Amino acid sequence: MLVDAKTMRTLDRKTIKDYGIKGLVLMENAGRGLSEAVAEILDAELEVSGKARVSIICGKGNNGGDGYVAARHLRNDGYEVEVFTTVPISALSGDAGTNARIWKKMGGTCFKVSSAKEIESSLSRLRHSAVVVDALFGTGLSSEIKGVTRALIEVINSLSAVVVSVDIPSGLDATTGKVMGEAVMADLTVTMAYPKLGFFLYPGKDYTGEIDLVDIGMPPEVAADVKINNYLIDDLLVSELLSSILWRIEDTHKGNYGHLLVAGGSTGKSGAVAMAATAAMRVGAGLVSVAVPKALHNIMEIKMTEIMTIPLSEEVSLIEPSRIVMNDAAVGELAGELVGKSALVIGPGLGRVSTGFVDALKGLLSFCAQEGIAVLIDADGLNALAGTDGSSTCNLSILKHASENGAEIVITPHPGEAATLLGVTVKEVQEDRMGSAEQLRKKTRATVVLKGASTIVATEEGSFINPTGNPGMASAGMGDVLAGVIGGLMAQGMAVVDASVVGVYLHGLAGDIAVERTGEAGLVATDLIEESALLIKSFAESGLPSDSDCREDEC
């Protein structure tokens, strides 16, 4: 489970008020856990460089209080500890003030860094530290960091020491991962009770470093009382969701594993359909057919081997006159071809179709709802919903109507497509990816896969963040492969939400494994297709994949 800033405040409050665990106890547990993490680093640094001094920079809130507790434990354990504070100890109140005064009474050193002059005079001490602990701000930060505090963070980021942040790197928004003017670039973040949502969203992911989770004694019943609906996708979750389709009995046939129809393609974009279809077969779909404009049919017949092909009615695109695309009659033909199919992927390579196509799509989705056929809409399928004038409100209502009438739909926009559908800028989408994905989900009632670094799957049950993938996947065709992976899983009977969660994780992990062989610059979409099959094999054999899995001739 991942928590945002508001939820973390609620958890703290309920722990103290409803369960009677005092804040001072929680702070003591947090500070002790922090001291243990820092001590481990100091011991390693002592062996390498002979330096074992730690500098702890404390703010005025509970984050600073955790720092004072850690300072006490580290000093008691024999480490050289210096504390730097942005406010006088006499000005501190509450639990933080209590621990600051304990530190002072036991003879701990404390240097003020509340002005540029004080920061300058402390530079030498900070530079001679093996570890610097950032205990300035926690999850409650709500305004941009400026002035002296910003200068202090810039100094922290300039140091060669190992930087450890308490709960969250100071300056980072715990909910969105946004940098509030300036943020500490941590090597390690020692976070309390639950990992924070902003750790796994960019740019926050770049600032967090490794994450060490500390149990501060918060009863699990507290979380049960609070609605937490953000999750990080991991091996265990994917293994559990895959379990229903991984193992096959001997007395079986291809019809037991679903039949996916991939509809799309236009002049110059036949590869998109081919990649989606092949990826679907590699993750286990028993049968896959592709439906394309008649002009592409012979090309697909040659290009595809295991995959069946269907020609559909076509026209010259009014928006892209150089392309032949499906016309609105093709949508009606698709309905006929969907008899006996278990899932539909529509959009890869589709090209810019007419408004008549979108009007006909409403009937197609109604048919899919009646027949229990899961639908994935991608790429130009989403552009069609946005309309030629970019006014998507009415067209999104088509999806909402279909979903409310039983259609199982997933849409897979990249940030640009999401921005168009929402009528906002790409910058606005990227600044609040979680909010944007949820807004799209509410407008469509569909499962939303917002692609990009840290892909988000927004569902009625909550949102899932995908940690797999790498920059090499910023390459043509990656979205088509993802559509095929999710479509292939849906075809085998996985629920749309489960297929989306598993699909984005497998897709990213396949990219992570493939990039070890190709490098980021040389990674192409088709590299992921065979790796996806090997990952399915790995899950089937052990339940959990290994990054070291490889082909027999490469091991």
The DSSP-derived string for 26-80 is HHHHHHHHHHHHHHHHHHHHHHHHS--EEEEEE-SSHHHHHHHHHHHHHHHTT-E
Distance from C-alpha of 551 to C-alpha of 403, rounded to nearest angstrom = 41
Q: Is the pLDDT of residue 371 over 70?
A: yes
Res 392: pLDDT? 61
Res 355: pLDDT? 82
pLDDT band at 177 (very low <50, low <70, confident <90, very high): very high
The percentage of residues in the chain with a pLDDT greater than 70, rounded to a whole number, is 96
Least-confidence region, from 239-243, 451-455, 538-542: 538-542
Contact partners, residue 268, CB within 8 Å, separation at least 6 = 322, 323
The helix or strand, by DSSP H or E, that contains position 429, with its residue range, turns out to be helix 426-431
Contact partners, residue 544, CB within 8 Å, separation at least 6 = 235, 236, 239, 538
The closest alpha carbon to 331, from 315, 308, 307, belongs to: 315
End-to-end CA gap in the chain: 36
Distance from C-alpha of 32 to C-alpha of 16, rounded to nearest angstrom = 19
Q: Do domains 13-228 and 235-245+316-323+338-542 have the same CATH topology?
A: no
pLDDT band at 34 (very low <50, low <70, confident <90, very high): very high
Q: In 10 A of CB 48, how many CB atoms?
A: 8
For domain 235-245+316-323+338-542, the CATH architecture is 3-Layer(aba) Sandwich (3.40)
Strand partners, 259: 287
pLDDT band at 45 (very low <50, low <70, confident <90, very high): confident
What are the C-alpha distances in Å from 82 to residues 75, 102, 108? 9, 14, 7
Over residues 138-161, the mean pLDDT reads 95
The closest alpha carbon to 308, from 339, 287, 325, 326, belongs to: 287
Q: Report which residue type is found at 72.
A: R
Six token digits for residue 311: 């020609």
What are the C-alpha distances in Å from 133 to residues 44, 123, 124? 16, 14, 16
Average per-residue pLDDT for the chain: 93
What single string gives the DSSP state of each residue in 91-151? G--HHHHHHHHHHHHTT--EEE-SSHHHHHHHHHHHHT-SEEEEES--TT--S---HHHHH
At how many degrees (to 10) do helices 478-491 and 270-282 cross? 40
Over residues 248-271, the mean pLDDT reads 94
Contact 482, 436 (CB under 8 A): no
Sign of the Cα torsion 223, 226, 231, 236 reads positive
CATH number 3.40.50.10260 is the correct assignment for the domain at 13-228: yes
Q: Are strands 456-459 and 462-465 parallel, antiparallel or unpaired?
A: antiparallel
User: What phi and psi values does residue 497 have, to the nearest 5 degrees?
Assistant: -65, -50
Distance from C-alpha of 5 to C-alpha of 10, rounded to nearest angstrom = 9
Over residues 35-58, the mean pLDDT reads 90
3-state secondary structure of 495: coil
pLDDT band at 225 (very low <50, low <70, confident <90, very high): confident
Over residues 367-387, the mean pLDDT reads 93
pLDDT digits (tens, 9 = 90+) for 475-521: 999 999 999 999 999 999 999 999 999 999 999 999 999 999 999 99
Contact 362, 394 (CB under 8 A): no
Res 384: pLDDT? 87
Q: Are strands 308-312 and 314-316 parallel, antiparallel or unpaired?
A: unpaired
Peptide bond into 203 cis (omega under 30): yes
Domain ranges of the chain: 13-228, 235-245+316-323+338-542
Distance from C-alpha of 475 to C-alpha of 61, rounded to nearest angstrom = 45
In degrees, rounded to 5, the angle at the alpha carbon of residue 350 between the alpha carbons of residues 316 and 325 is 15
Over residues 415-429, the mean pLDDT reads 94
Res 555: pLDDT? 35
Over residues 96-119, the mean pLDDT reads 96
pLDDT band at 357 (very low <50, low <70, confident <90, very high): confident
Over residues 63-80, the mean pLDDT reads 97
Distance from C-alpha of 130 to C-alpha of 375, rounded to nearest angstrom = 55
Q: Is the pLDDT of residue 46 over 70?
A: yes
Distance from C-alpha of 200 to C-alpha of 457, rounded to nearest angstrom = 13
Res 543: pLDDT? 64
The percentage of residues in the chain with a pLDDT greater than 90, rounded to a whole number, is 87
CA 2 to chain centre: 11
Res 188: pLDDT? 98
pLDDT band at 351 (very low <50, low <70, confident <90, very high): very high
Res 553: pLDDT? 42
Res 549: pLDDT? 46
Q: Is the pLDDT of residue 548 over 80?
A: no
pLDDT digits (tens, 9 = 90+) for 227-259: 899 999 999 999 999 998 988 888 999 999 999
Res 115: pLDDT? 96
Distance from C-alpha of 59 to C-alpha of 183, rounded to nearest angstrom = 14
The closest alpha carbon to 54, from 162, 160, 165, belongs to: 162
Distance from C-alpha of 294 to C-alpha of 315, rounded to nearest angstrom = 10
